[in-house]
Amino acid sequence: MLEIVHMTVNGEEKELAVDPRESLLDTLRNRLNLTSVKRGCGVGECGACTVLIDGTAVDSCLYLTMWAEGKHILTVEGLKSPSGELNEVQQAFVDEAAVQCGFCTPGLILTGVELVNSGRKYTREELRKLISGHLCRCTGYENILNALEKVVGYH
């Protein structure tokens, strides 16, 4: 039996009929074609499926779409400005060469957006802990940390 869910995704209101057991990851990728949300481990340990729900980074593979009723969901696709300019976190990732294969990048960027929106500054060690839920097999994390330090670190 399908149920109706209302949510705002990347600034657009959505009304969808979904199976109550459907993950937000599946809804975003398969129904809304938001492919920045990656299917990784499926158990909330790699961070590839990270989205912002009401400003908080969440593993969408563990979050049922029904729980998103009335919530605001942000994916990397929603970061693009009307003029096409990159978000400051995205630009920092480019500037610091923090992207290799790109599989983990959207989740890390959204975690960075959450950190920017907190209004706080972080030490490199704090940043290292804050991204510990993201698995990156390519970069060794140093350039990712450099990018995050650029936007939310102490200078």
To the nearest 10 degrees (0 to 180), the angle between helices 142-152 and 105-118 is 30
Q: What is the largest CA-CA distance in the chain?
A: 54
Residue type present at position 63: Y
The Cα–Cα gap between 99 and 5 comes to 34
Topology annotation, domain 88-152: DNA polymerase; domain 1 (1.10.150)
Entry field: residues in the chain: 155
pLDDT of 16 = 98
Q: What class does CATH assign to 3-79?
A: alpha beta
> Which residue ranges does the chain devote to CATH 3.10.20.30?
3-79
Q: Residues of CATH 1.10.150.120 domain(s) within the chain?
A: 88-152
Residue-level pLDDT, tens digit, the chain, 155 residues: 999 999 999 999 999 999 999 999 999 999 999 999 999 999 999 999 999 999 999 999 999 999 999 999 999 999 988 899 999 999 999 999 999 898 999 999 999 999 999 999 999 999 999 999 999 988 889 999 999 999 999 87
Residue 131 CA to residue 152 CA, distance in Å, equals 13
**In this predicted structure, what is the pLDDT of residue 80?**
87
pTM: 0.95
Backbone Cα Rg of the chain = 15
